[in-house]
Structures are given as C-alpha cells and as structure tokens.
Structure 1
Amino acid sequence: MNKKQLSERDICSKFITPALVYAGWDLVTQIREEFSLTKGRIIVRGKLHTRAKNKRADYVLFYKPNLPIAVIEAKDNNHTVGDGMQQALGYAEMLQIPFVFSSNGDGFLFHNKITTDGIIERELALDEFPTAETLWECWTKHRGLTEQQTTLVTQDYYSDGSNKTPRYYQLLAINKTIEAIAQGQNRILLVMATGTGKTFTAFQIIWRLWKSKTKRRILFLADRNILVDQTMTNDFKPFGSAMTKIQKRQANKSYEIYLSLYQAVTGNEEERNIYKQFSQDFFDLIVIDECHRGSAAIDSAWREILEYFSSATQIGLTATPKETKDVSNIDYFGEPIYTYSLRQGIDDGFLAPYKVVRIDLDKDLAGWRPDKGMLDKYGNEIEDRIYNQKDFDKTLVLEKRTQLVAKKISEFLKQTNRFDKTIVFCENIDHAERMRQALANENADLVAQNSKYVMRITGDNEEGKAELDNFIFPESKYPVIAVTSKLMTTGVDAQTCKLIVLDQRILSMTEFKQIIGRGTRINEDYDKYYFTIIDFRKATELFADPDFDGDPVQIYTPQSPDDSPVPPDFPENQPSGSDYPGLGGEQNWPDIAEPNPEDDDTTVRRYVVANVEVKVVAERVQYFDSNGKLITESLKDYTRKTLTKEFASLDDFLRRWSSSDKKQVIIEELANQGVFFDALADEIGRDCDPFDLVCHVAWDKPPLTRKQRADQLKQNNYFTRYGEQARKVLEALLDKYADEGIQHIEETQVLTIAPFNQFGTPLEIIRTFGGLDQYQQAVCDLEQALYAS
C-alpha cells in the first residue's frame, strides 16, 4: 500500500482510528469523528445570505460522553506528522482541553498543555497513543480533583438516545459549573447571549447534580409564566413526576424539582410567605434565570428569596450582567465562570447576524424651535426653546415625524415581506399608541383584512398583552407588527422576528443588548437567518462602544447600612412586574409613561404639533465585516475588497479560473465569503457571468453579458471541429449557458432535460463524444473558449 496515494479520510480509517482502538478508546462512546464545533457564520449582503465554512475537528476524544479531553487533526501522508498541529491547537482552545494531537498516518505529534517534565511536544509511534485513563488521570491531577469530586465531574448528562448533544460552548458552561460546585463554589454566574440555549444548559447542570445526589431539592426561578410552562414541557420534561410548579399559596414539599415565578413568591405579604413555608435549608440549589433583572438589586424583593435560602448553591443565568453604580451581578455572584457572547454566537453561526439601516431625520439632527407665541394643536402655547431628539415624544410630539417613521418602516416591509414579524420600540405608551395608529394608516389594506396586523403590546393594555404569545409563536400569522416601549425589551423569545425598529433613545448598554437579543435567534424552517435593525435615534452607535460585547466591568459601589437606598432609575434599574399593581405575575417589564411633572392642571405634559414637516436627511445600510466590525459600504466595495484579498492580481484570477476543472467550485468558494453574484448582476443591471462580474468589480474590465459571450463564440466557427450530433449538443449547452449560467452546463444531469433529451439518452449523447472522459473534455474546452478573450 502506498500511503502517499491515500486520501485524508483513508489515513483516518486505515491508521488513526485503529491506533485509537488499539489504545483502548471505545469507538462508540469515546471517539467522535468529524466533530462539528460551529455552524459557519451567516454572511449577509443585500437580501441574500450564505454560510461560511464551519469549523470541524477530525477527532474529538471524550473520556465520558460529556467530557472532551483530546483533539486530533489528521492530514494525508503528503504532509508531515505535525502539519495539523496549529489547526488542532485552535480547536483545543475552543474546547479548552489540554491534549492535542496531529497525525499523517505515520505516527502522532503530541502537544501536552499541562506537561510537568518541560517537554510540551513529542512524537509518538502509532502504537504509543495514550489510553483514556492515562490522559484523564493526568487531567484530574492537574485540576486537583479528589475522588469524590471526580465522581460528580464524571456524572453523565441526560441523553434521550437522539443526536441532540450540547454544543461546544454549552459543554464548557455545564462542565465548568459542575467542577466549580464540586470544588465548593456556591455562587456562580453564567453569561450566555440570548438564543444560545441557557435553559437547556441549566437543565443539564441540574440533571447531573440531581442524578449524582449532590443536590436533592432544586428551585428554578423565571420571571414569566409562559417561560416556566415551556421549561416544564420542553427542556425539563425528563424530570417527570419529581417536578412541580409552585402556585400561589401552595407549598407542597414532596417534590424534588421546583419551578416558580419570581412574582409568585414575592407578591403581597400573604403571597410572599409562600417561600417561608419552606425551611431555609430546604433547597440545595437555586437556579435564577435572567438574573440581571431584579435579583441583583440589594433592595429587591427577589433578592430576599436568595438571601433567605442563602445556604443553597445559587447559579445566576443572564445574557447581560447588570453592572451599574447601584446594582451588580458580579458583587453578588462573583465573576462569570463562563461567558459566551453575542459576537461569538454570530461568528460561530449559532446566532443570526444583523444589518443596520440608519435613518437620520432633519429635525432630529438640527432640532426645532417654535415661532414666538406658537400654539400646539390643543391651544397650548409652546415654550420657546430648541427641541431636539431628547425631547421628541416626551415633552414634544411632532405628528409628521411619527407619520414619516411609520412610512419608512412600511416601505421597508413592502420591499422585503409585509408579513415579517416586526417589533417597534417607542419612547413610552403614548408614543406607542400614536405609532400604532400611523402604521395602521400606512398599511390600511392589510389592517382591513385583519385588525391585528398591527398591535400595541404595552403593560397597560390587556388586549395587546393577550396577543404577545401569538406574536412569539412562529405558527401564528398575526400580529405582524408589535409596537411597544418596555414590555418586549427582554424575555420575549421571538424566533421569527426579522425586523427591529428603534425609535427610542437607548442609553443603557444592558437594555440595548436585551433589545438586540430579540432578533438573534435563527429559525431555518421560517427562513430566518438574519434580521434588520432600522434605527431612527442613533441607538446603534452603541455598537461602537468597546463595552458592547466586552466582559462586564464591576462598577457597583456598596452602600453603608446608614445610606438610604437609591431609588431605581428606569430603565437602568427596572422594577419587577409585581411592583406595579394590575400587571400580574406573568408579565415582563412594564411600559411606564412618565408622570406629570406637577399635579396642577396648568402643566402641559407634552406639546403636540401637527403641521411641522419632517424629512429624511440620510439613509445608509451597515453590515458586519469578517472581523465582526460594523461597516458602511456598498455591495461592490465589499466584493472588490474580498476579491483583491483572494487574488493577487487579474492575472492570478485568470490563471486560477482557467486551470479549474469546474468553475462552479470557485464561484461557491467566493459565495462562502459573501460575494453574491446574483445581487451584483442586479446592481450592475446586466445578465453577466460571475467571471465578468469579478473582472468588472475588482479590475474595472467592461463586462459582457452571457449572451454576448455565447454569440462571440458562435461567430468564431468554434463547433466545426465536431460531428453534427456532438455540435448540436454543444450548441445547446452554449444556449443553456446564455440563459442560466456556467454552473448549469458543468453537470451531466443537464443531459436529462430539454432540449438534450431530444438527442437521445444521456448515455447515448456521451457515446457521441466517444465516452464520458471525452464528453467532459469537450465541455472543458467549451468553457476555455468562452473565456479565452
């Protein structure tokens, strides 16, 4: 056997896998081949998207099904034994595991991150691969784990026999938490971006602690009724009859897994006594979902529960740790034990990326000053000063501004899909109601068909709140547009939301992240791969803030006992729904309209001006570049940069295009980098071949249409070298190219459709050329002739 002629896959199956099995690794439970780490970032340009190549390790070795311990990167035998090492080290860093191997089938290069003898890399023969027990013993010794701690760390996670296993970052979050608890840590903070599976992660943590009998009674706290119910019927379902939901005035102590609303145990005095019916040491573990909301505030009613059960291990889950001068997750829970950020989630392809449409309005930029003595539409004299974006929809309403915003939102939906789920964030309830009216007028045809096309979903409106779940469920067509101010800022799992509109000044980074999180879930069944943010208030400038996706920095200043508590600011310190009568335990953060500055009848709460024109000054689209930075550039500019990075010169491109057996391979490689040929052809306004688009966009060559290229070739008497039947086939291929493009003539399946089926079966057509190799050569020659000029 000549190893040099074997493919990488052959090297794996004939040499690497047998070496692992020889070393005692179990083929079913411990060896995972072609292990996918990421899904591949979604790249968006215009209305099109594609996925970049995903990261996939050739082998990940598991000591137990939940404990990855080693990575192997394989290469074919034309590479050296260590050629895959740097790639493998990158995968090992993602998985945070210490043992890394590279192989070409001759042996292994072993990289040991925790070596004690000073030799970090050494070569091993094929029969010298270490056993699972050897590596695990080395790892536990390095971590300082006792036998009792190791028993907990090696407890299996739940598996129903399906292929659903935790993603790599969920494995890290689960394993780090379990190990921290095994080592005695009792306050733990996990930071995971919205849409990355916090509840599933929490379930696996609880399952392992419960099955190992490390924690026997467990309380899971969430803040919306639907979230508790969904958790019980979905992720937590395997707990079965051991699980219950705490209802108001009920404290059944015969269960082991308890789920509850914060509000169910922090309501009025009678309701608040529910949790006091449990002894202070009743729960061994408390998991607090969305812990950034109220539990972080030292004077919060929710915090009272945590302090009552202070002997329990407490795990806080959040997408956005709360860090202000008055509130701190870190002060209570400690530094996050693991963080998986929005940027990482988008980069890995697990979260939907976004593009931003920034729309600047003239009155927002320049401000507006009333004429002296000017009255608003209700006869109130308007105070003479300059009003700007800070004032609009708070102290001053420009009705035509609201109408213009509604018009621009509707125009966008008409250009994309008028039934794309949309959330519009307004300044307050009054603004939200006026926006609802304006959007209803802009979409009168659809509102006439169903009045729920646009709904105001705010904390004061029962009809709107009743439609929140219908907005969330992908199967429900209505409502399409949800107009809100604070109610839908967080905790709304809107998987199919494709448009978020910001007509609200947002100064809190926490609130901004929460709002962006409403759109980050991917739902491929409903064609949701990315979402758009339309920003009227410069809120997206927060993307440029270094703290947007950085680690939380503790800025909390603890108060002395003599200090009176600082009243919570809104929205930075948001109150729980239970703090506002009539909202009920199921609700999220309420929408709050500002109170009148004074109670006397002479105070005008806000001026309303009907006839001041408002115009759009600037409108631009921003995208992410390959480094995750938000940029503003045209499709052509982005494509030019991508192409000139990929090809050193026009000659380099021509050489690679000419030498490629299938042009479609190059086209697909470029598409994976976000070069969208269909969109470029639309922008240029011609039916051009990808070849011409590349030459035109990157090197300013005049583009030919596909028909022009085909006609040029026909005029050169190209087909005279072939017999009559073969000539007819090639002429038909050329016509197919002119109509549909190069990719359609490169596959032999094209011979099964009209007009080729008139020439005979695919086998008969191929025989006309003397066989398959000769047919493929004729197609290759045809392509070379097409691009010869």
Structure 2
Amino acid sequence: MTSEADTRANYIDPALKAAYWQSCNIIREHYFTDGRKMAAGVRGRRCFVDYLLHKDNRYLAVVEAKKESEHPTKGLQQAIDYAKKLRVRFVYSSNGKQTYEFDLETGKGDYIEFYPTPAELEKRYAGEITDLSQELRNIPFHLEGAMQPRYYQELAVHAATDAIGQGKSRILLTLATGTGKTFIAFQIVHKVFQARWNLDKPGSRRPRILFLADRNILADQAINTFNPYEKDLIKINGKEVRKRNGLVPTNAHIFFAIYQAIAERENIDGYYKAYPSDFFDLVLIDECHRGAANEAGSWRAILDHFSNAVHLGLTATPKRTDNVDTYEYFGQPAYEYSLKDGINDGFLTPYRVKRVRTNLDELVLTSDDLVIEGESAQDIYKVEDYDKKIIVDQRTELVARTLLDHINPLDKTIVFCENQNHALTMRDMINKHKKVQDPHYCVRVTSDEGKVGRELLEKFQDNDKDIPTIITSSQMLTTGVDARNVRNVVLDRTVGSMVEFKQIVGRGTRVFDGKDYFTIIDFRGATNKFYDKDWDGEPEAPEPVTDNLGELGEPGNTGEPEPPAFESEESSPLTDPSVEPPKPRLRVRLGKNRELKVIDVETRYIDEKGRPLTVQEFIERLITQLPGLFKSVDELRQIWSDPDEREALLNKLMQAGFDKEQLAALRHMFEAEDCDLFDLLAFLAFEQPMATRKSRADQVRANAAFFDQYQQEKAQQFLHFVLKRYEQTGVTELARERLPALIELSGLGTTKDASMAFGGKPVHLLTAFKQLQQQLYC
C-alpha cells in the first residue's frame, strides 16, 4: 500500500522538478509552530505543511500530499488554514494522480495538470511588491547564535517593509503582549539601515530613526534589543541635552525618547522642536494606542511636527474610542497576531481561571460593625464597592490568606488592587500570613515607590531570583513588565475597561521553561469579561496612564525637573479652597461574631478561543470527544487494563485538551476522588455506575486463584503491595515506568531480584503486572 511519502517521492517531487522548482525554493515538512503548551511539559500538535514553495524571500504556495488511495483534496481545508497563517495565496493538494489548485484570494479552485513555475507563480503576486520592498525583503535578518525568527515575526517585518517600499506613511503592527514587538521593530530598523533607505535620496545616507515610548522601562528594554547598533544610537533626555550645553543630540542615527521627556511643558519648550521637522525618516511609536492618535495629546504634537516621516505604530490591540482611534490615524494593521493565536501556536502560555467567592461579596452592615471613619451611604455593599466606597481590612486579609492557600509559595505572582492604599494593605496582609521569612517576599510596586520600587521590580523580573515573589500594585503593572515566569495574576479589583482587562491577562502569557499555564485568581468577578462579546482572545492595551514622571514616577529618569503628576488610579489633591474636599471613604471594622469565609472556588479551563469553560461546558466538551476514543465499555476496559494502551488514551485526551490535572478536577466535581478515572469515563460515556478503588482492589484480593499461580511468596507480596498503592494513590501507580520504583518501595530488592520471584525473566514480571491490572478492571 502506498503512503504519503510514496506520493511525495514518486509524483510530487518529479512534478515540481518538471516545473523548474529547485531544492533551494522548496521547504519540505515545514514545521512553523511549537504546539500548544499542555500539562507536564507536553506539547500539542505542531502546524506543518508537506511543502512550502518560496522565492525571493516570499512564501508562494503550500502543497499538501495525500496517499494515492485517498481523495486528492482530503487535507485541503487544513492546508488552507495553514496557508492563511503563513499569508500564502495558493494551496495545492495532491494524491499524485490528481492535483487540485485553490486560490485563497478568489476563493475558487480547480484541478490542474501541471504545477506553475516559480516565475509564473511569482508573477501572480507581482502587483503587491515594489523594487524597494523586494530589496528590503532580501536583506537577511540580524540574528545572533541559533536564534531564528518565528513565522509571525518574519511576516510582520515583511509586511512593514513592504508598506515602506510601497510609499505608505502610516503603518500599524498589532501583536499580542509577549510576542516580541521590539524584536520585530529592530529587524525593520536593521533592514532600512542596511538598505540606506531615507526619504531624501534612497541610498545616499542611512536613515535617522526616532523610537518613541511612553515609559522609560519600555525605552530601555528597546535600547537593549538594539544593542548591535550601540554606536549608532542615543537617548534624548535632559541629561543628554545639558551635556551639550542645551543643544539636542544629532550625532546618531537611532534616537530613543519617552515623549514626556521631549514634549512641551509649562514654561518649557519641547526638545522635539529643536529638531527640523524633516530630521527623522522613520518614527517608531511603541504602545501607540496610548495617545499617538489623540489630537489633544503630547504624542500628537510630536508626531505632527515630524509629519513628513514614516510613522510605524506598535501595539497589543488598537484602541478605538471617540478621542483615540488608532485605526483612523494609522489605517488598518499591516499585520495582526492575537493572543489566541499565540497560545494555540505554543508561543504564549495558556491560562486557567479560579473564581473565588466569599460571604462578604455582599455586605449588609449591622450594629455589631464599627464605623471607624466616614458615613454609610447605602444598605448593601457589593464586591465592586470595596476599597472605593467602603474599606474593610478584614476582607483584604481574607483575600490575602486565600490567595496564599492557592499558590505555590515561590510562584511569581502579581496582585492587582483597587488603588495604591489597597495595594499597601494587601501587601501587609500577605506578609502577615506568609510562610516565607524574607522581608521582600511581598512588596508593593506603584508610582509612589520611586527608585526603590523600580529596583524591586527589576529583581521580580529576574527569573533567577525567587524574591520578591509577590508584587501588589494597581494600574502601574498592567504594561511594561516583561516577567516571563509569572505564574499567577490575582484580581482583587474591578476592571471596567476591556482594554485594561486584556492587557492584565497578558502579564502572565510569556513562555518560560516548566511553565505549562498560569492562573488568574479572581476575587471580584472581573473574569466575567471573558464572556463579553468584545472578548475575542486579542489583548487590547490599557487606558492612558497620566503619570508624567515616566515608569514608577522617578523624575531623575528623564534628566530634567518634572511637573507634578499623580497616578491615574488616585485623585489628585484639590488646592482650590473654594472647592469642598471629598468626603472620607467609609472605613469599617466588622463585628467579632461575623464568620469570614470563602464559600466557593471554581476552576475553569479555557477553550481554543481563550474563553473559560463552565463546568457544564467542560463536561459536554469531554463527552463529545469520548466516542472517537472508544466505542464501548468493553473497549474502554480493554484499553485501560493495559498500561501502554492506557497511556496512549491519556495522551489522546491531552491532545484533545483534557490533561491529567483537568481530569483530576473533573473527578472532584463528581465527588469521585476515591474512584478510578476509568469509572468516571465509563460513567460519562455510558452511564455505568462508578466503583471505588478500594472495592476494585478488594475484589482482586478475594481472587485466591489469581495469586496461587505465583508460587513464590515474594511475588504474591509484591502484587498485594501494588494493589495497596493503587488503592491509596490511583491509576498512576500502574504505569509501566512506575514498576522499578514499586519494586524498590516494596523492599523486593532490584529489578533482577523481582524477576527471580516471578520465574527468573523480566518478561514474567511485566506479564504479572499487566495481569493484575486485567483483574482490576474485569
């Protein structure tokens, strides 16, 4: 019987050669994703195409090979999906005897006799690329060591340079948090730098480029990425201007600045005005959603001054409101890559949600409760009122104790609080109940912390350091925190903006070795936004932060005195004596007779669209998968009785999105912790009654004939030991790889000693191990 490999070797390869496709223009078995992260370091299926045809640094076509005995278009739909990801227009599907061509642009397909030649296929794309675009494409990426760009990074760079080559002056790239936007920006700069592209006379000089950010931490991270061009870059700030006796630096090609440092301020002209309006050829705007398109903002004044330059905006997800419309300014994105895509491709970490409810989610004050400050203005306080309308430190303490119970002690964790004072109280309550002695185990990082806060944040971001472990904040850490090993994102604040919510989720998505997922622990119901119609798995950026001091509010970072500023989460003090000061917030100490407790913790796992599944949805999803894995109870029993077949079934369940941890959670939902997973699957698929592990083990123990076939007492003792371990721990004890450990734990000696007890050959030991399992599930 012929295989796909035979089709490739006997039909497709000769046909491509006849169409003048050379090996240098063909990538065979091209894997371009890492596979979705699963539990225990397992990965889902990687996306790959049998053939990827390319020429002049452009992907031109995908070829899908099928067995000669199969229909030629059997794999067409999957090939189309992959072609869309790779931005390929043409897909070919062939069983060798017939070849089908599909054009994604027209949406039509038909059978063809011969493959088009490289020149013919390239001509079909001819209208989409200019000479300059092609020149920029042909410049290799600047890569160090074994580094290779991910497919979407390569496509994003080409999309941007193609747009530059086509003469577009406003370009937008939209990529999820953690996908390497700064790396992409560097490669774009590298290409135009090497091509000596500029707006005056291409080829005559290298371009002058301004990288504009809104926080020092973002600008500094970008500078580190641009390190290969260290001699060609400089940062514009007050310190640099003072070094030049008040003159702005001009002796570089790549300039970095935060807009606060170069914008106009009261009685101070902006540094940007010291540059001729045509000084820069390219302006890169990082996190451009924050106000680049806002006509009233400082961003806009700077961009208007340099309006002749090409403006390239980088953002997580464009913001669209009445006063800031990123699309109106930049146009539609030249390239988009969403959080959903990043997770499914395996380049970002998936998440799970723990929704925590307490008996204080609705609070009615009684005469036993003590009002410490302020006056009560309503009968019922709901979860969204805490730390806005009413402050109850005992509730914050309950949250702190609960989150400590639901995280590993040294897992990096960010706690988002309602405001800076709430973040202080949360920090203090966590430190009150923590088990780790280090004084910096939990710290607050907000704009009030200044230099100390920034230093603690840098240590938190260091993946080689365990301390600080927990950071409490409010809005300051929604962006700009590149901490790859964040395992928990805790929400004890109401999140009104979908924009901000998506960015907060992005804090945990960066990939790190051993990090299979991160957990969103929600105390306020903020994760209900996952069910909002606006949630599509693509993170949007947060509301603009009106913190003129830059990251963590440190004046010294910009090199010049700063005007007073207040973190956007807090109200600024009122200095006008004619304005009545705000009333103090209601602060209450609850009565001693109140019982403060958590009433429910619900764990929800996400589907492929990033939407958490309810318990009912999770079960229904599993039930729909089971018929494809086994057709009857007897078939399931046969599979489950063999450790190798059972492991294969568990792997299939994992690939379908149900790992061992999720299945354990499912047993908890059905109060079946004492049962075997076999019984739960049989119950869900066929409504079979569930048996406990103890009853199964006792049934085997009562079968004297089974044990009597083993003459040596040591052999019988070992089998009884395995039964006991199974009864206590579960089916994991019956895996083939557990056998050496079970031998050692039983006191039987070495594997050789155990083999002697079962007749002298290892195969006899393994046979007995399998027969024991057959007895368990008969």
Scaled to the shorter chain, the TM-score interval is: 0.7 to 0.9
Report Cα offsets for 1:646-665 as digits up to 9, x if no partner.
Answer: 35753584498399984432
Q: Show the 5 A alignment for 1:580-619.
A: 583-584=554-555, 586=557, 590=567, 592-595=569-572, 604-612=583-591, 613=594, 615-619=597-601
Cα distance in structure 2, aligned partners of 1:205 and 1:522: 24
Q: Which stretch shows the higher mean deviation, 737-746 or 471-480?
A: 737-746
How many percent of aligned residue pairs carry the same amino acid?
Answer: 34
Residue 459 (structure 1) shift: 0.7
Partners of 1:429 and 1:591 within 8 A in 2: no
Q: 1:422: which partner in 2?
A: 413
Residue 242 (structure 1) shift: 3.0
Partners of 2:499 and 2:542 within 8 A in 1: no
Q: Which stretch shows the higher mean deviation, 745-754 or 638-647?
A: 745-754
Cα distance change on mapping 1:209 and 1:323 into 2, 3 Å? same
Q: 2:639: which partner in 1?
A: 657
1:226 is the counterpart of 2:226: no
Aligned pair partner of 2:546 in 570, 575, 583: 575
Q: Show the 5 A alignment for 1:462-473.
A: 462=450, 463-473=452-462
Q: 1:567: which partner in 2?
A: none
Q: Show the 5 A alignment for 1:515-534.
A: 515-524=504-513, 527-534=514-521
Q: 1:624: which partner in 2?
A: 606
Aligned pair partner of 2:26 in 3, 23, 31: 31
> What secondary structure sits across from 1:451 in the alignment?
coil
Residue 489 (structure 1) shift: 1.7
Q: 2:562: which partner in 1?
A: none
Cα distance change on mapping 1:709 and 1:454 into 2, 3 Å? closer
Q: 1:88: which partner in 2?
A: 79
Partners of 1:370 and 1:384 within 8 A in 2: no
Cα distance in structure 1, aligned partners of 2:740 and 2:121: 51
1:439 is the counterpart of 2:430: yes
- Equivalent AA in structure 2 for residue 409 of structure 1: L
- Equivalent AA in structure 2 for residue 667 of structure 1: L
Partners of 2:177 and 2:539 within 8 A in 1: no
Partners of 2:277 and 2:308 within 8 A in 1: yes
Q: Show the 5 A alignment for 1:460-539.
A: 460-462=448-450, 463-524=452-513, 527-539=514-526
Q: 2:125: which partner in 1?
A: 139
Cα distance in structure 2, aligned partners of 1:748 and 1:71: 47
Report Cα offsets for 1:156-183 as digits up to 9, x if no partner.
Answer: 3414375533323323322222222222
1:400 is the counterpart of 2:387: no
Cα distance in structure 2, aligned partners of 1:468 and 1:209: 35
- Equivalent AA in structure 1 for residue 530 of structure 2: F
Residue 119 (structure 1) shift: 7.6
1:354 is the counterpart of 2:367: no
- Equivalent AA in structure 1 for residue 349 of structure 2: A
Return 5+ residue gaps in structure 1 as ranges. 554-569, 770-774
Cα distance in structure 2, aligned partners of 1:785 and 1:357: 38
Residue 335 (structure 1) shift: 2.5
Cα distance change on mapping 1:388 and 1:768 into 2, 3 Å? closer
Aligned pair partner of 1:57 in 40, 49, 62: 49
- Equivalent AA in structure 2 for residue 590 of structure 1: E
Residue 575 (structure 1) shift: 1.8
Partners of 2:478 and 2:542 within 8 A in 1: no
Q: 1:412: which partner in 2?
A: 406
Partners of 1:321 and 1:552 within 8 A in 2: no
Cα distance in structure 1, aligned partners of 2:625 and 2:179: 33
Q: 2:201: which partner in 1?
A: none
Partners of 1:577 and 1:585 within 8 A in 2: no
Cα distance in structure 2, aligned partners of 1:331 and 1:497: 35
Cα distance in structure 2, aligned partners of 1:652 and 1:195: 47
Partners of 2:53 and 2:59 within 8 A in 1: yes
> What secondary structure sits across from 2:657 in the alignment?
coil
Partners of 1:458 and 1:464 within 8 A in 2: yes
Partners of 1:288 and 1:315 within 8 A in 2: yes
- Equivalent AA in structure 1 for residue 27 of structure 2: R
> What secondary structure sits across from 1:637 in the alignment?
helix
Q: Show the 5 A alignment for 1:731-750.
A: 741=733, 743-744=735-736
Aligned pair partner of 2:232 in 239, 242, 249: 242
- Equivalent AA in structure 2 for residue 633 of structure 1: V
Residue 195 (structure 1) shift: 0.9
Partners of 2:447 and 2:552 within 8 A in 1: no
Cα distance change on mapping 1:746 and 1:56 into 2, 3 Å? farther
Residue 252 (structure 1) shift: 3.3
1:377 is the counterpart of 2:366: no
Residue 384 (structure 1) shift: 6.7
> What secondary structure sits across from 1:499 in the alignment?
strand
Residue 572 (structure 1) shift: 4.1
1:8 is the counterpart of 2:4: yes
Cα distance change on mapping 1:730 and 1:120 into 2, 3 Å? farther
> What secondary structure sits across from 1:510 in the alignment?
helix
What is the root-mean-square deviation of aligned Cα atoms in Å?
Answer: 4.3
- Equivalent AA in structure 2 for residue 452 of structure 1: H
1:637 is the counterpart of 2:619: yes
Cα distance in structure 1, aligned partners of 2:212 and 2:372: 49
Partners of 2:216 and 2:550 within 8 A in 1: no
Cα distance in structure 2, aligned partners of 1:19 and 1:260: 55
Cα distance in structure 2, aligned partners of 1:284 and 1:221: 13
Q: Show the 5 A alignment for 1:259-298.
A: 259-266=256-263, 268=265, 273-298=270-295
> What secondary structure sits across from 1:467 in the alignment?
helix
Report Cα offsets for 1:175-224 as digits up to 9, x if no partner.
Answer: 22222222222112222111111112222222223323334222222233
> What secondary structure sits across from 1:483 in the alignment?
strand
Cα distance change on mapping 1:137 and 1:482 into 2, 3 Å? same
Cα distance in structure 1, aligned partners of 2:658 and 2:571: 48
Cα distance change on mapping 1:200 and 1:330 into 2, 3 Å? same
Aligned pair partner of 1:41 in 33, 36, 45: 36
1:452 is the counterpart of 2:440: yes
Cα distance change on mapping 1:460 and 1:104 into 2, 3 Å? same
Residue 535 (structure 1) shift: 1.8
Q: Which stretch shows the higher mean deviation, 309-318 or 671-680?
A: 671-680
Residue 643 (structure 1) shift: 4.6
Partners of 2:449 and 2:552 within 8 A in 1: no
Aligned pair partner of 1:302 in 290, 293, 299: 299
Count of matched residue positions in the alignment of Structure 1 and Structure 2 = 734
Cα distance change on mapping 1:213 and 1:269 into 2, 3 Å? farther
Partners of 2:384 and 2:524 within 8 A in 1: no
Partners of 2:142 and 2:190 within 8 A in 1: no
Partners of 1:635 and 1:680 within 8 A in 2: no
Cα distance change on mapping 1:645 and 1:627 into 2, 3 Å? farther
TM-score, normalised relative to structure 2? 0.82
- Equivalent AA in structure 2 for residue 151 of structure 1: Q
Partners of 1:191 and 1:319 within 8 A in 2: yes
Report Cα offsets for 1:427-457 as digits up to 9, x if no partner.
Answer: 22222222222222122x42xx321111111
Q: 1:156: which partner in 2?
A: 139
